[in-house]
Amino acid sequence: MKIFSVSVINMAYWNKEIECMPQEEIKKRQLDMLQKLIAHLYKDNKFYHDKMAAKGVVPEDIKTLEDITKLPFMYKQDLRDNYPTKMFTEPIDKIVRFHVSSGTTGKPTLVGYTRNDLEFWSEALARSLTSCGVGEKDVMQVSYGYGLFTGGLGAHYGAEKVGATVLPTGTGNTERQIELMQDLGVTAIACTPSYFIHMIDVAKQKGVDIRKDTVLRRAFLGAEPWTEGMRKHIEEASGVKAYDIYGMSEMAGPMYTECEERCGIHIPWDIMYCEVVDPETDEPVAPGQKGELVVTMLKKEAFPLVRYKVKDVTCIMPEPCKCGRTSPRIARITGRTDDMLIIRGINVFPSQIEHTLLQIPEVESHYMIIVDRINALDVLTLQVEIKPEAFSDKVNEMTDLKKRIENEMKKYLNVAVKVELKESGSLPRFEGKSKRVIDRRTYE
Ligand code: ADP
Ligand code: ZN
């Protein structure tokens, strides 16, 4: 009995001292880390030196944490301009790994890691997985792509660090993945939400009910935006508890998750410093207000980041978490500033469409958003799969359903949406990051 209660306490935190440190101490330590980082980059790296000099800032200007706003921003373009290794701050013989981003928004970018960088990446994941109850007893299937993409190897080393048994399936060959999941008693999985939905479908076609025929209990889903509505669909269809996992290759890779409370993503204060700014004015927004995330990596050696505008839209959550961790939390990412569609002058994020759509009980979680420009007007078409039991031969029933979805969309998005109902299984499926938006507009 005693042993059991001790192991439960150990399970709760990976590094309790750091994870539950009082705010005052966190601020003191973050300032110390920031000052050392900036002094080092100004002295040792031409890119950072020139950027700071152009803004007239010197390391001595950083006297408080708030002084971080005096520093210049960094952009994805800086990475491209300095490709491949001009932004590296360690010599190549100290670099033990490269990764290349998946290129969602253009030319892929290269990142590098020292041995210590790989260590804190796994440490971040170990804290995250522990906060969700994953440990030695678990078998973790990693169905993110392995290779240049950070997802597979990132989740892999994090799960190994907490002592879980890792099943490195990568993506693809879904039927085989389901067999292995059953044979090896997989309890947790990491993949994109769209791939997990695909897996649920393939399992169903094989006559496997994930809830009854496997012992899968937790899914760490990320690498692309998804909504609370999608979480509900996934949980109802599979019986697993789904957690949001976030990261990007410039930070290291996937590293941060929600805890068991599932109310925002914990960001370890000793690894990453977060700001949220208005994407247009670059002014900081108040806690709880949405804006663009700006990150500073406080202890990265090979490839640091200072005030990097990541384009992801979120907010810093002001209220403390019930789990007792004192690290800051950011809200679920609702999209990227460059994901936003402007439809007849109105801003629409794909996540708003997903959120509205998944409130409608007849629809499946597969959809495509197509934008055209017809006679100088934007036309948004939403193709939606309908559950087999909701499909009807009666034309008027189908027309009513289509109208109902169109009305809901209009009500919530303030934009007219043309809905096309599709048969279950007819829209594309995705193994890695999904591509659900096709923007065919041209502006000649
Ligand atoms: P690329 O920009 O080439 O796709 P990455 O593979 O590193 O590079 O992807 C990072 C991006 O993926 C993030 O900036 C974010 O837009 C998206 N992303 C990752 N995890 C999540 C998540 N849990 N929710 C929403 N978006 C996510
Ligand atoms: Zn928490």
* pLDDT over threshold 70, residue 105: no
Please confirm whether the linkage preceding 84 is cis (ω < 30° from 0). Answer: yes
Which residue's CA lies nearest to atom 14 of ligand 1? Answer: 248
- Spatial separation of the C-alpha atoms in residues 242 and 233, rounded to whole Å: 10
* pLDDT over threshold 70, residue 334: yes
* pLDDT over threshold 90, residue 104: no
- Measured in degrees and rounded to the nearest 5, phi and psi for residue 287 equal -50, 140
pLDDT mean across residues, the chain = 94
Rounded to the nearest whole angstrom, what is the distance from the C-alpha of residue 11 to the centroid of ligand 2?
Answer: 14
User: In a 3-state reduction of DSSP, which class is residue 249?
Assistant: coil
- Spatial separation of the C-alpha atoms in residues 122 and 130, rounded to whole Å: 12
Give the pLDDT score at 444: 54
Average of per-residue pLDDT across 408-427? 95
Looking at all shown ligands, the one closest to residue 434's CA atom is 1
Instruction: Show the tokens assigned to 299.
Output: 């202890």
**Relative to the CA of 103, which ligand 1 atom is closest?**
3
Per-residue confidence band for 101, with pLDDT thresholds at 50, 70 and 90: confident
Per-residue confidence band for 443, with pLDDT thresholds at 50, 70 and 90: low
Does residue 372 contact residue 418 with C-beta atoms inside 8 Å?
no
pTM for the model: 0.92
Looking at all shown ligands, the one closest to residue 310's CA atom is 1
- Spatial separation of the C-alpha atoms in residues 192 and 6, rounded to whole Å: 34
The pLDDT tens digits for 138-151 are 999 999 999 999 99
Write the burial class of residue 63 (CB in 10 Å: 0-12 exposed, 13-18 middle, 19+ buried): exposed
Rounded to the nearest whole angstrom, what is the distance from the C-alpha of residue 224 to the centroid of ligand 1?
Answer: 5
Question: What residues form DSSP beta bridges with 330?
Answer: 265, 316
Of the chain, the percentage scoring pLDDT greater than 90 comes to: 90
Alpha helices in 308-433 (DSSP H): 350-357, 395-413
Rounded to the nearest whole angstrom, what is the distance from the C-alpha of residue 385 to the centroid of ligand 2?
Answer: 35
Average of per-residue pLDDT across 376-395? 93
* pLDDT over threshold 60, residue 369: yes
- Spatial separation of the C-alpha atoms in residues 58 and 201, rounded to whole Å: 56
Q: What is the CA radius of gyration of the chain?
A: 23
Which of 226, 246, 292, 336, when mutated, tests ligand 1's pocket best, judged by the most ligand atoms within 8 Å of its CB?
246
Torsion of CA 25, 30, 36, 38, to 10 degrees: -150
Which residue's CA lies nearest to atom 5 of ligand 1? Answer: 248
Give the C-alpha distances (Å, rounded to integers) separating 210 from 132, 137, 143, 146.
Answer: 20, 19, 16, 24
Average of per-residue pLDDT across 298-315? 97
**Relative to the CA of 265, which ligand 1 atom is closest?**
23
DSSP one-letter code for 124:
H
Residue for token digits 């080092």? Answer: 40
Give the pLDDT score at 206: 97
In Å, how far from its chain's centre is CA 221? 8
For ligand 2, a single-atom ion, the residues with CB < 5 A are: 259, 261, 321, 323, 325
Give the pLDDT score at 102: 66
Rounded to the nearest whole angstrom, what is the distance from the C-alpha of residue 259 to the centroid of ligand 2?
Answer: 5
Which residues lie with the beta carbon below 6 Å from any ligand 1 atom?
101-105, 222-225, 244-246, 248-249, 310, 312, 333, 336
Which residue's CA lies nearest to atom 11 of ligand 1? Answer: 248
**Relative to the CA of 433, which ligand 1 atom is closest?**
4
Give the pLDDT score at 442: 81
The pLDDT tens digits for 266-277 are 999 999 999 999
